[in-house]
Amino acid sequence: MALRLTTSRLLNLQRQCPLQRLLCSYRLSGHLRFPAISLPLQVPVCSNSIPSFDQRTLIHTSSWNSEHKKSQWPFHVTMTEEEKKKKEQRIKEMQEEKPPEGLVAKFKYYFKRYWYIAVPAHAVSCISWFGLMYALVHFGMDVVGLLQALHLPESLIEKVQNVPESAGIIVVALILYKIATPLRYATTLVLIRVAFWGLKRMGLLRTAREVEYTARTKYEINKRLYGRRFYRLQKFYSKF
Residue at 202 is within a domain: yes
- Do residues 44 and 160 both lie within one domain? no
For residue 223, what pLDDT is reported? 72
- Do residues 139 and 97 both lie within one domain? yes
| Pairing label, strands 46-47, 36-40 | unpaired
* Structural contact between residues 47 and 23, judged by C-beta atoms closer than 8 angstroms: yes
Residue in 141, 136, 123, 131 with CA at minimum distance from that of residue 191 = 123
For residue 195, what pLDDT is reported? 86
Residue at 70 is within a domain: no
SS3 of 59-121: the string is HHHHHHHHHHHHHCCCCCCCCCHHHHHHHHHHHHHHHHCCCCCCHHHHHHHHHHHCHHHHHHH
For residue 80, what pLDDT is reported? 73
Q: Among residues 31, 65, 99, which one ends one of the domains?
A: 65
Give the structural domain span for 23: 2-65
For residue 133, the tally of other CB atoms under 10 A from its CB is: 22
Residue at 121 is within a domain: yes
Residue at 194 is within a domain: yes
For residue 187, what pLDDT is reported? 92
- Do residues 106 and 211 both lie within one domain? yes
The low-confidence residues of the chain, meaning pLDDT below 50, are 1-3, 19-51, 53-60, 64, 70, 73
CA atoms within 13 A on the CB side of 186: 4
- Do residues 87 and 182 both lie within one domain? yes
Residue at 176 is within a domain: yes
Residue at 180 is within a domain: yes
Residue at 74 is within a domain: no
> Is the CA virtual torsion 73, 78, 83, 87 positive or negative?
positive
- Do residues 51 and 20 both lie within one domain? yes
Q: In total, how many domains does the chain have?
A: 2
- Do residues 202 and 231 both lie within one domain? yes
Pairwise CA distance, residues 223 & 218, whole Å: 8
Cα-based angle 205, 208, 210 (whole degrees, multiple of 5): 70
Residue at 131 is within a domain: yes
Q: What is the pLDDT of residues 191-212, one digit of tens each?
A: 988 888 888 788 777 766 777 7
For residue 115, what pLDDT is reported? 81
For residue 13, what pLDDT is reported? 58
